[in-house]
């Protein structure tokens, strides 16, 4: 590693939705011979996902912050001090925060040390961490035009609408080629069922409730990611399945399956939404209920342009029934697909990396 190499810290964690965009940026930085270091929580999935992708990672003792709990405040304080030590020693050129509480102590440390801060927001609505820091950031890269509404006019010059950085596989992929590789018949319909990066209990239950009906539809092949924690239970419960159905805890090759699919049943996590837009896939979305994570707004955007049908968690059963009908309605599927062209954003990773100012330091 050269003495004069530039160095960028990426702080992120919690779920795939916050980590994958950071990995996409890190890969592009690596292409440009910029060093990177990830800082996240030692308790969450970044702890494995980041090193698996070949990047340096430091996991801190970070847990959700409860301001009424002394122990939680003490832990926050400790992670700020630790972050200051790390950032000081590493002599970094800038830091990029990807939202989530995990980024908070690291960004506080960066602010105290006067480091350049950039932010990336995956969701339509600005999340809590990004809400705290946009004032002191150089720029905030957002995925959707609507996010402007969450930022006062005074700070809007800091906003750049780039779309979400997606894994590279999503950019260079062809539906027909992937269908051929998966040996999908001409009349076969592919239904992809995924929760977020951790799976979705409600969606799983609804699929189980409607499994007999799905089984009867011989022309529907189901690809179902249950989430790692739910897999064993589900696998034991299902007695009959069509030979082509694929049930797994998680698909590592999701871009390929998504490209090959005709319809998705999914949560409305920001990354899933951006991937669905990029590959122009019709979907039935069942957003996660908690208002903290903004999935409802993400889903509404697609509904508004006629690209997705949206169901409340409590109506998940109906959503599955609708999917079984919709997947046979080629005319409507085509229309939904075409409506997505309107909001495609192009290569966000390049736009962001081009904009980061580390060369003048
Ligand atoms: C419960 C929760 O906190 N959810 C939040 C979390 O979502 P979460 O990380 O769960 O969901 P996202 O949709 O943003 O990302 C999921 C990612 O996992 C991938 N995937 C999924 C299943 C699979 O089998 N294989 C696979 O690769 C998807 O392709 C996608 O890239 O962060 C998002 C981004 O800030 C938010 O919008 C969500 O509200």
Task: For residues 266 and 272, give the distance between their C-alpha atoms in angstroms, rounded to a whole number.
Answer: 8
| Residue 360, pLDDT score | 78
Residues 160, 219: one domain? no
Q: And the tokens for 2?
A: 């050269």
Confidence band for 205, pLDDT divided at 50, 70 and 90:
very high
Q: Is residue 257 part of a domain?
A: yes
- From the list 282, 258, 265, 246, the residue with the least C-alpha distance to 318 is 265
Q: Is residue 201 part of a domain?
A: yes
CA of 4 to the centre of ligand 1 (A): 36
Q: And the tokens for 35?
A: 């060093």
pLDDT tens for residues 341-358? 989 999 999 999 999 999
CA of 230 to the centre of ligand 1 (A): 16
Task: For residues 333 and 236, give the distance between their C-alpha atoms in angstroms, rounded to a whole number.
Answer: 33
* Ligand 1 lined by 270 (C-beta under 6 Å): yes
Confidence band for 293, pLDDT divided at 50, 70 and 90:
confident
* Ligand 1 lined by 227 (C-beta under 6 Å): no
Closest ligand 1 atom to residue 251 Cα is 24
Q: Is residue 133 part of a domain?
A: yes
The mean pLDDT of 295-322, rounded to a whole number, is 96
Closest ligand 1 atom to residue 121 Cα is 35
* Ligand 1 lined by 288 (C-beta under 6 Å): yes
| Residue 225, pLDDT score | 97
* Ligand 1 lined by 111 (C-beta under 6 Å): no
Residues 225, 338: one domain? yes
Residues 18, 130: one domain? yes
- From the list 303, 311, 306, 302, the residue with the least C-alpha distance to 336 is 306
Q: Is residue 155 part of a domain?
A: yes
Residues 150, 117: one domain? yes
* Ligand 1 lined by 170 (C-beta under 6 Å): no
CA of 268 to the centre of ligand 1 (A): 8
Residues 56, 152: one domain? yes
| Residue 64, pLDDT score | 93
- From the list 238, 242, 235, the residue with the least C-alpha distance to 184 is 242
Three-state SS at 240:
coil
Q: Which residues, at least 6 apart from 203, have a Cβ–Cβ distance to it below 8 Å?
A: 193, 195, 265, 266, 267, 286, 316
Q: Which residues, at least 6 apart from 85, have a Cβ–Cβ distance to it below 8 Å?
A: none
Q: Is residue 360 part of a domain?
A: no
Confidence band for 3, pLDDT divided at 50, 70 and 90:
low
CA of 194 to the centre of ligand 1 (A): 9
Closest ligand 1 atom to residue 266 Cα is 13
Confidence band for 1, pLDDT divided at 50, 70 and 90:
low
Between the two ends of the chain, the Cα-to-Cα distance in Å is 19
| DSSP 8-state symbol, 71 | H
Of 14, 226, 270, best ligand 1 pocket probe by most atoms within 8 Å of the beta carbon: 270
| Residue 198, pLDDT score | 81
Residues 108, 240: one domain? no
Closest ligand 1 atom to residue 195 Cα is 22
Residues 231, 139: one domain? no
* Ligand 1 lined by 192 (C-beta under 6 Å): no
Closest ligand 1 atom to residue 198 Cα is 10
Confidence band for 2, pLDDT divided at 50, 70 and 90:
low
CA of 22 to the centre of ligand 1 (A): 13
Which protein residue has the closest C-alpha to ligand 1 atom 15?
Answer: 17
Total domains in the chain come to 2
- From the list 111, 162, 165, 103, the residue with the least C-alpha distance to 138 is 111
The ipTM estimated for the assembled molecules is 0.96
The mean pLDDT of 119-132, rounded to a whole number, is 95
Binding residues for UDP-N-acetyl-alpha-D-glucosamine are: 15-17, 123, 167, 197, 270-275, 295
Of 269, 283, 291, best ligand 1 pocket probe by most atoms within 8 Å of the beta carbon: 269
Q: What is the mean pLDDT of the chain?
A: 95
Residues 85, 60: one domain? yes
Residue 100 is part of a domain; what is its CATH number?
3.40.50.2000
214: pLDDT strictly greater than 70: yes
Task: For residues 80 and 105, give the distance between their C-alpha atoms in angstroms, rounded to a whole number.
Answer: 5
Residues 89, 176: one domain? no
361: pLDDT strictly greater than 70: no
Closest ligand 1 atom to residue 270 Cα is 37
Measured CA distances, 52 to 49, 199, 225, 358 (Å): 5, 20, 20, 26
Residues of the domain holding 192: 169-343
Residues 229, 295: one domain? yes
Q: Is residue 148 part of a domain?
A: yes
Closest ligand 1 atom to residue 225 Cα is 24
Residues 51, 197: one domain? no
261: pLDDT strictly greater than 80: yes
pLDDT tens for residues 70-113? 999 999 999 999 999 999 999 999 999 999 999 999 999 999 99
Residues 190, 241: one domain? yes
Three-state SS at 171:
coil
Q: Is residue 114 part of a domain?
A: yes
CA of 289 to the centre of ligand 1 (A): 14
CA of 237 to the centre of ligand 1 (A): 25
Q: Is residue 39 part of a domain?
A: yes
Q: Length of the chain in residues, anyone?
A: 361
Task: For residues 270 and 242, give the distance between their C-alpha atoms in angstroms, rounded to a whole number.
Answer: 32
CA of 195 to the centre of ligand 1 (A): 8
């Amino acid at each position: 590693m050269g003495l004069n190499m530039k160095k960028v810290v990426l702080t992120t964690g919690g779920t795939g939705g916050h980590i994958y965009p950071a990995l996409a940026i890190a890969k592009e930085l690596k292409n440009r011979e910029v060093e990177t270091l990830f800082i996240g929580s030692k308790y969450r999935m970044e702890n494995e996902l980041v090193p698996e992708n070949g990047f340096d990672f430091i996991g801190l003792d970070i847990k959700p912050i409860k301001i009424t709990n002394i122990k939680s405040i003490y832990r926050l304080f400790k992670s700020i001090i630790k972050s200051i030590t790390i950032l000081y020693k590493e002599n970094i050129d800038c830091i990029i925060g990807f939202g989530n509480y995990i980024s908070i102590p690291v960004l506080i440390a960066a602010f105290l040390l006067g480091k350049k801060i950039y932010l990336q927001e995956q969701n339509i609505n600005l999340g809590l961490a990004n809400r705290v820091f946009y004032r002191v950031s150089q720029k905030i890269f957002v995925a959707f035009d609507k996010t402007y509404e969450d930022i006062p006019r005074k700070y809007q010059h800091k906003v750049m609408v780039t779309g979400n950085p997606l894994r590279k596989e999503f950019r260079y992929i062809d539906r027909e080629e992937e269908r051929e590789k998966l040996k999908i018949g001409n009349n076969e319909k592919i239904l992809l069922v995924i929760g977020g990066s951790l799976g979705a209990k409600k969606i799983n239950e609804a699929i189980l409730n409607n499994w007999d009906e799905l089984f009867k539809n011989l022309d529907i092949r189901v690809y179902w990611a249950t989430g790692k924690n739910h897999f064993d239970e589900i696998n034991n419960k299902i007695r009959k399945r069509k030979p082509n159905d694929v049930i797994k805890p998680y698909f590592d090759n999701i871009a390929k399956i998504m490209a090959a699919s005709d319809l998705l049943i999914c949560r409305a996590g920001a990354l899933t939404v951006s991937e669905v837009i990029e590959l122009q896939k019709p979907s039935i979305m069942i957003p996660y209920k908690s208002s903290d994570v903004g999935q409802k707004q993400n889903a509404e955007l697609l509904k508004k342009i006629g690209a997705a049908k949206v169901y409340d968690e409590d109506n998940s059963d109906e959503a599955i029934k609708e999917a079984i009908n919709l997947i046979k309605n080629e005319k409507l599927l085509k229309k939904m697909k075409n409506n997505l062209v309107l909001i495609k954003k192009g290569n966000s990773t390049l736009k962001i990396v081009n904009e980061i100012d580390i060369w003048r330091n």
